[in-house]
Amino acid sequence: MSKILANDGISDSGKVALEEKGFQVITEKVDQENLIETINKEDIKVLLVRSATTARKELIDACPNLKIIGRGGVGMDNIDVEYAKEKGLEVYNTPAASSSSVAELVFAHLFGMVRFLYESNRQMPLEGDENFKSLKKAFSGGSELTGKTLGIIGFGRIGQEVAKRAIGLGMNVLAHDKYTSEANITLNFFNGDKKTFTIESTSLKNVLKGSDFVTLHIPKLEDKAVIGAEEIGLMKDGAGIINTARGGVIDEDALMFSLDKGKLAYAALDVFTNEPNPSIHLMMHNNISLTPHIGAATLEAQDRIGEELAEKIISYFNK
């Protein structure tokens, strides 16, 4: 019976799927400094991690019986992937499992943004009982999403999930992707009907100029922000921007400046340059809807992640 150490946890559904096939799944967390010793002593064949546990060269060299490293989620910055592959290990991640969760968080922020919920939720507990009428006045004048244009920068897995939801709401979609020229977006309806829309990628400039809201779904490949002061300058006055991609994809200082000057009306951030200690100025800003990097953190995504890893592990050992 092969042993699997799920050091940053695994969903019950993933664990059960593995146990049904005879694997032993250990979920007690082992400290990083004791990891090599435990893997060798327990003869662990599969190490599953999320973002907390790292699997570097040293561990790969010191654990010759390890066959698979699995990352629940997308980013593999915590694993020396190429080195592991050179040494004959399989390295798996689950890139598609959380796309819907991130896309829904975008809309949680968007709906909250256009009705000022991020600020209303801060002010109501403080003065809602005494200053109800003035708060009502302050948070009136919101707007609707239907009929507005959503600009999607990065039209991969998550960008396309966002597009589906935008189309469902009756929004116009503009998309920009550096490497994809078009994508077919299929909406599946409750009654089994389907409808496919082809969306062509347009220039970054067109997306920035033409959108009421811009949402970012690109990887962080370079140090320079993709959206800085110049790009924000191209956006419509009063537009909103959402970053659930990676910290640093937007220049945070340029963003705050544009909010302070009233160029942009609102922003939403799930990811930050200096995680896990983001700028206090961002945290305190009245026009930013904030979440602590929870884009992928839904129960459904965790289930899909666990099940996808389980499937890959089972098929490896059945080969």
- Residues identified as active-site: 246, 275, 293
Q: Which of residues 92-151 bind ligand NAD (CB under 6 A)?
A: 95, 98-99, 102
In the complex, the smallest distance separating the C-beta of residue 49 from ligand NAD, rounded to whole angstroms, is 16
Among 69, 199, 207, 245, binds ligand NAD (CB under 6 A): 245
Binding segment toward ligand NAD, per CB under 6 A, in 37-45, 110-118, 122-130, 291-299: 291-299
**Binding of ligand NAD by 217 (CB under 6 A):** yes
Among 177, 231, 251, 252, binds ligand NAD (CB under 6 A): 177
Among 15, 45, 148, 157, binds ligand NAD (CB under 6 A): 157
Choose between 23 and 272: whose C-beta lies nearer to ligand NAD: 272
Which residue has its beta carbon closest to ligand NAD?
156
In the complex, the smallest distance separating the C-beta of residue 246 from ligand NAD, rounded to whole angstroms, is 4
The full 3-state SS of the chain, as one line of letters, equals CCEEEECCCCCHHHHHHHHHCCCEEECCCCCHHHHHHHHHHCCEEEEEECCCCCECHHHHHHCCCCCEEEECCCCCCCECHHHHHHCCCEEEECCCCCHHHHHHHHHHHHHHHHCCHHHHHHHHHHHCCCCHHHHHHHCCCCCCCCCCEEEEECCCHHHHHHHHHHHHCCCEEEEECCCCCEEEEEEECCCCCEEEEEEEECCHHHHHHHCCEEEECCCCCCCCCCECHHHHHHCCCCEEEEECCCCCCECHHHHHHHHHCCCEEEEEECCCCCCCCCCHHHHHCCCEEECCCCCCCCHHHHHHHHHHHHHHHHHHHHC
**Binding of ligand NAD by 9 (CB under 6 A):** no
**Binding of ligand NAD by 219 (CB under 6 A):** yes
**Binding of ligand NAD by 270 (CB under 6 A):** yes
**Binding of ligand NAD by 250 (CB under 6 A):** no
Choose between 138 and 283: whose C-beta lies nearer to ligand NAD: 283
Residues of this chain that bind ligand NAD (CB under 6 A): 74-75, 95, 98-99, 102, 153-159, 176-180, 217-219, 221, 226, 244-246, 270-271, 293, 295-296
